[in-house]
Each structure stands twice: as C-alpha cells, then as structure tokens.
Amino acid sequence: MLTEGKGIPLAVVVAGANRHDMKLLGATLEAVVIQRPAPSEEEPQNLCGDKGFDYPASRQEAVEHQYIPHIRSRGEERQEKQDNPEYRPRRWVVEVCHSWLNRFRKILVRFEKNLATHLGLLQFACAYIVFKRAGSF
C-alpha cells in the first residue's frame, strides 16, 4: 500500500502473504491512481520506507520512478531508540491506513478466491476512506 502524508491510500497491489514487500514496490508505484506532478529540483518527490525495503533493488526502483529514497537501514531504528529513549518511529502513516482498512470486516480476512473480486473490495474500501477523509460524507 502506498499512502500520502495523511494516511490516504494512493495505490494498492494484491499478492500472497508469503510475498516480500520489497518485491511489490515497483508494481505499487506503477499502480498509483492519480497522476503525480513531475518532480523537479525545486520540488523533489521523496519515498520513505522501513527496513523491509533496505535492498539495492528497492532503492533502484525508487530512483527509476523519480523518487528520492529515504529507507531505514536494518538496525538503524533500534540504535536510534537506544540513543534517544523518546524516539518514535515514523511509520504511523501507513499503519493508520491499515487500521482504517481493518475496519472493513469483509476484507479483514480474505475469503474471496478470485483476485479481481478481492482487489475490487480493497479499491472500494480505499475510495470510501478517501471520500470520508475529504469530507464528502
């Protein structure tokens, strides 16, 4: 799942639970449903990732999609927590979006065998979240 700064979902890709997140990065970046503005030197576009994306392939994928990758190295967050006991991780944006999606009981546990059906339910839930956050309802 790709979200913007307020936790609003921008892209969803469906895969098996045994598929690593870093292998889905390219597909997720290509699945963004709104056209993003072209990055420039004055307004570069950043991509933040946790240690699950700490691989050269993930960094390369981000650069190929014209993002500046900000990916935490493995062990970096643990060291930061030891150095500063008041440190709080910055992954709350994605976690908030996942929490909103978990409120849709139909998609909380996947019973649909058809991928298109499950993806449609996820997209419907994401659209509902976007409209709700935009104040349309």
Full-model pTM: 0.74
Nearest one of 94, 109, 6, 13 to 48, comparing CA atoms: 94
Say if residue 3's pLDDT is above 80: no
**What is the average pLDDT across 20-39?**
88
What pLDDT does residue 80 have? 80
Task: Check the CA dihedral 37-42-43-47 and report its sign.
Answer: positive
Confidence bin at 98 (pLDDT 50/70/90): confident
What pLDDT does residue 122 have? 92
Q: Give the span between the Cα atoms of 43 and 90, in whole angstroms.
A: 22
